[in-house]
Structure 1
Amino acid sequence: MKYKGLFFAICIISLWGISLAYLLNYPIDFYNPLVYVFMLLQMQLYTGVFITAHDAIHGVVAPHNKKLNYAIGFLCATLFAYNNYEKLSKKHHLHHKNVVSDEDPDYYDGNFFRWYLKFALEYVTFWQILLMAITYNLLKLVFPMENLIVFWEVPAILSTLQLFYFGTYLPHRGEHEANDIYKSRSQKLNHFMAFISCYFFGYHHEHHAYPYLPWWKLAEAKEKEELKVLKN
Structure 2
Amino acid sequence: MKKYAGICSAGIIILVWILHLAFWIQMPLDWKSPFLYLAILIQTHLYTGLFISSHDAIHGVVSKEHPRLNHAIGRFCATLFAFNNYTILRKKHHHHHAYVNTAEDPDVHQGNFFIWWFKFMFQYVHWTQILAMAITYNVLKIWFPMTNIILIWELPAILATLQLFYFGTYLPHRGEHEPGNKHQSRSQEKNHIWAFISCYNFGYHYEHHDKPYLPWWKLAEAKEQNSQISSR
Using the alignment, how far apart are the partners of 1:25 and 1:82 within structure 2? 22
- Among the aligned pairs, what percent are the same residue? 59
SS in 2 for 1:2: helix
Amino acid at match of 1:21: A
2:53 counterpart SS class? helix
The aligned runs of 1:130-141 (5 Å cut-off) are 130-141=131-142
Aligned match of 1:201? 202
Match in the other structure for 1:128 = 129
| Equivalences for residues 1-232 of structure 1 within 5 A | 1-231=2-232
Query: What is the deviation of 1:125?
Result: 1.2
Q: Residue 193 of structure 1: CA displacement? A: 0.3
For structure 1, which runs of at least 5 residues remain unmatched after alignment?
none
Q: How many residues align?
A: 231
TM-score (norm. length: structure 2):
0.99
Structure 2, unmatched stretches of 5+, are: none
Post-superposition shift, 1:31?
Answer: 0.5
- Mapped to 2, the partners of 1:206 and 1:76 lie a distance apart of 23
Query: How far 1:64 moved relative to its partner?
Result: 1.2
Q: Distance in 2 between matches of 1:40 and 1:212?
A: 29
Deviations 1:119-173 (A, max 9, x none): 0111001111111000000001011101001101100000000000000000000
Rounded Cα–Cα distance in structure 1 between residues aligned with 2:178 and 2:15:
41
| Structure 1 position 73, deviation (Å) | 0.6
The separation in 2 between residues aligned to 1:204 and 1:86, in whole angstroms, is 23
CA distance in 2, matches of 1:75, 1:2: 20
TM superposition score normalised by structure 1: 0.99
